[in-house]
Amino acid sequence: MATSTPSGVRGSHAKHGGHPHDSAPMTHRQIMEALSGLLLGMFVAILSSTIVSNALPEIIGDLGGGQSAYTWVVTAALLSMTASTPLWGKLSDLFSKKALVQIALVIYVLGSVVAGLSQNAGMLIACRVVQGIGVGGLSALAQIVMAAMIAPRERGRYSGYLGATFAVATVGGPLLGGVITDTSWLGWRWCFYVGVPFAVIALVVLQKTLKLPVVKRDVKVDWGGALLISAAVSLLLVWITFAGSGSGKKYEWLSWQTYTMVGGAILLGLLFLLVESRASEPIIPLRLFRNRTITLASAASLFVGVAMFTGTVFFSQYFQLARGESPTMSGVLTIPMIGGLFVSSTVSGQLITKTGKWKAWLVSGGVLLTAGLGLLGTMRYDTPYWHIAVYMALMGLGIGMMMQNLVLCTQNQVDPQDIGAASSVVTFFRSLGGAMGVSALGAVMSTRITDYVKDGIADLGPQGAAFGHGGTAGGGIPDLDKLPEPFRVVMESAYGHGIADVFLIAAPIAFVAFVITLFIKEVPLRSAGAAVQAAESAPVAAAPAVTQAAVEEPVLAVPATGGIPVRGFVRGVESAPVPGSAVTLISLGGQQLGRSVARADGSYAVDAPGAGSYVLIAAADGFQPQASTVVVGDEPLAYDVLLSGTSGLAGVVRTAGGKQPLPGAMVVVTDVRGDVLATGACDEQGAFAFGELVPGAVTVAVNATGHRPVALPVEVAAVGVTRVEAELRPGARVLGTVRAAGGPLADARVTLVDAAGNVVAGATTGADGAYAFSDLDVGEYTVIAAGYPPVATALVVAGDGVDGHEIELAHPGE
């Protein structure tokens, strides 16, 4: 895609900005300073989602509406968050991530302020949609910004901090919401106002601390794809909410409305796939799903989302309506779940950073999440609290191990330019699962509670028949304090049993997520910092080495000649095998110890003479060579190597308007630190080419005799040759002499000013009074000469070539 720049250079750019860790690693302090505002923004996002949970029974009772309105206040925010997440992810690949985070915060603030002024349930639901758009941006961009700053191997540690922030906001939200609701001089409306100051502080902190590179280029946002996916998801949620029998339901599961909505959602989904397959900048690049890890992680996130949001939404109803607790105590009683989430996300993040291994945490999280939900399905209104606390802790441990690590393993599998889209895809499916789960399970819970209330009232005999709906007002949220004792017990029992059924249904859904994680192949996390150091210490290599930790999967046995075998696979883009790769094992002193050529499946085997540290070098045609340090023990070592595709840069230099090539033009390529990577002169056709460049942001400077030099920011793609075109405008020259009464005047100062008043150049005359200006654009200038009293004269530069301009200076009395 060709783009024009002010300098007149056209170029093809890659799809994202360069990563700081691709050039120089950041210190822990720098990262934490940069993340401080981001984590605060994330805290605000999660706080807005959880602060209303304990206040919802009172909010719905005040504004009107039954269980359907209760569910939609939650679902509306989840829906807009789900629909907007891929769009935020795509925008982050195209625009400034810092600006997008700030825009998301502003959207959240506006939605929160208006939500606090809601006069009915419909207005509140609409405001929650606006809040959800902002929260969707913050949720998606938090992971994306971390990926832009931090190497995958180190990202586990900081993902733990993100999980800890999630945990604090999740436990603090319900507690704060309960306290605000129980405080008479505040009221539930302040649940929406309280996050605004935090958001404003986050805006200020982000402006000062978050520093990310920005690559400007022509972009095209896939608005059609965003509209279609939003409409498809919305139609499904409307169907799930209003289908079924019981109070608040509009039509049966099998009805013409169901057929219309489901058919319409499927049709919109197919149209979305068609649009995405043809879009130049798709909101969800379908090619990502050719990667098995991304596909499986997205599917697992869908089911994890159901389980995660089920716990955070329905616990408040359980504690308030099944156990008669206040909103504040409802938040306090959920601490075991949040504590489990806090511990598991933080600990797993630290250990993943140390080991580079993450799959065991995913699998363990699936087991714990399934167990916790299954046990919660057995609870009733009078179940001892310590039982429920244990069940909630198991659930929290499982969520903490799965939520962030599914995003982490996805980011580890994609090229840098796709990190934003891939991260948002996983977040999208998690939010989609949450939105559909809350809507569907809320509908199931409403039906179950209605049935249990009817059964309970029937058991009371004539007294129950006289009571009617038992205080539910035909599906509304009951006020337990106004119910007589026998009917209050019926209502509490119905809510306890109905909510337990929801968890019981969520358990097999979590089990599906667990099964999916078993099939995700573990690729140890990359260490970009080590790669940079390897590149700097071994300048002969054309690209930084991508260090891979040893993997535990069995590899095909390749005959060895003796010693301790080092075996594994050489893989390229999307883990495809690279047959014919040359793999060499050398000692730390540089002596070659073994060599192997990879087979058709990418497998290789070399022998180490004994235990110790060695250097493993892999090279293949069309790929950048990689060097890794391996530590061999007494047992055979399994070690996979990941090769990055060779990156090249080629282009053409022409005169303005692209009329004529400029043979002999000098092209210089420098990295972000200003170091020269390559230089060369253009051939007779004005063409140039450089191979074996490190992918990332570079600057291409071009100059030629008689033309103005230009500089072009270019993003070298990870695979293939990036092509650029440069246009050089002719540069005019102005030569002249400054004279006085006695002849040429030496040491006179001559200044050239353009028509806008900007100083273009300056010169001091020599002994012969001569001065010169070069590389000038066509236009009007003012020449100011000083030595005697200054003289200003007009000059018009008509075109390329040389213009003469003589200047006479004299004393006032002469």
Residue 708 belongs to domain with CATH number: 2.60.40.1120
Residue 163 pLDDT grade (very low, low, confident, very high; cuts 50, 70, 90): low
Could you tell me which residues come within 8 angstroms of residue 170 by beta carbon, excluding any fewer than 6 positions away?
A: 46, 50, 312, 338, 341
**Which residues is 567 bridged to in the sheet?**
605, 638
The domain boundary, picked from 250, 280, 310, lies at: 280
**776-805 residues labelled b (16+ CB within 10 A) or e (exposed):** beeeebebbbebbeebeeebebeebeebeb
7, with CB counted inside 10 A (0-12, 13-18, 19+), is: middle
Q: Are 448 and 323 within one domain?
A: yes
Could you tell me which residues come within 8 angstroms of residue 445 by beta carbon, excluding any fewer than 6 positions away?
A: 67, 314, 498, 499, 501, 502
The answer to whether 570 and 604 have CB atoms below 8 angstroms apart is yes
Domain coverage including residue 244: 222-280
Average pLDDT of the residues of the chain: 74
Q: Are 430 and 363 within one domain?
A: yes
Query: Both tokens of residue 296?
Result: 């499986």
Half-sphere exposure in the Cβ direction for 240 (13 Å, CA): 23
Residue appearing with tokens 């509670």:
449
Q: Are 202 and 242 within one domain?
A: no
Is pLDDT at 531 greater than 50 in this prediction? Answer: no
Q: Can you give the pLDDT at residue 375?
A: 93
Q: Are 199 and 238 within one domain?
A: no
Cα–Cα distance for residue pair 496/381, rounded to 1 Å: 4
Angle of helix 256-278 versus helix 223-242 axis, rounded to 10 = 160
Q: Are 239 and 295 within one domain?
A: no
Cα–Cα distance for residue pair 753/769, rounded to 1 Å: 20
Angle ∠(345,40,53) on CA atoms, nearest 5: 70
Q: Is the dihedral of CA 397, 147, 622, 596 positive or negative?
A: negative
Q: Can you give the pLDDT at residue 309?
A: 72
Is pLDDT at 647 greater than 50 in this prediction? Answer: yes
Q: Are 275 and 289 within one domain?
A: no
Q: Are 707 and 736 within one domain?
A: no
Element housing 601 (H / E): none
Q: Are 355 and 396 within one domain?
A: yes
CATH number for the domain spanning 748: value is 2.60.40.10
- How do 696-703 and 710-716 pair as beta strands? antiparallel
Q: Are 503 and 583 within one domain?
A: no
The answer to whether 368 and 394 have CB atoms below 8 angstroms apart is yes
Q: Can you give the pLDDT at residue 812?
A: 54
Task: Work out the number of other CB atoms within 10 angstroms of the CB of residue 638.
Answer: 16
The answer to whether 776 and 796 have CB atoms below 8 angstroms apart is no
Residue type, 240: I
pTM (two decimals):
0.53
Total number of domains in the chain: 6
801/623: higher pLDDT: 623
Cα–Cα distance for residue pair 506/311, rounded to 1 Å: 10
552, with CB counted inside 10 A (0-12, 13-18, 19+), is: exposed
Any domain includes 556: no
Residue type, 174: P
Cα–Cα distance for residue pair 631/481, rounded to 1 Å: 68
Q: Are 194 and 246 within one domain?
A: no
Mean pLDDT on 504-525: 85
Residue whose C-alpha is closest to residue 393's, from 371, 422, 378, 409: 371
Per-residue model confidence as pLDDT tens digits over 442-487: 778 878 888 888 888 877 766 555 555 444 434 556 666 677 777 7
Per-residue model confidence as pLDDT tens digits over 545-569: 333 333 333 333 333 345 788 888 8
**Which residues is 713 bridged to in the sheet?**
699
If DSSP codes are grouped into helix, strand and coil, which group holds residue 549?
Answer: coil
Residue 370 pLDDT grade (very low, low, confident, very high; cuts 50, 70, 90): very high
Q: What phi and psi values does residue 492 have, to the nearest 5 degrees?
A: -65, -40
Q: By mean pLDDT, which of 141-155, 262-276, 424-438 is the weakest?
A: 141-155
Alpha helices for 12-120 (secondary structure H): 20-23, 28-50, 56-63, 67-94, 97-115
Q: Are 242 and 101 within one domain?
A: no
Any domain includes 18: no
Any domain includes 399: yes
Q: Can you give the pLDDT at residue 725?
A: 87
Q: Are 441 and 585 within one domain?
A: no
Residue whose C-alpha is closest to residue 401's, from 425, 370, 431: 370
288/259: higher pLDDT: 259
Any domain includes 21: no
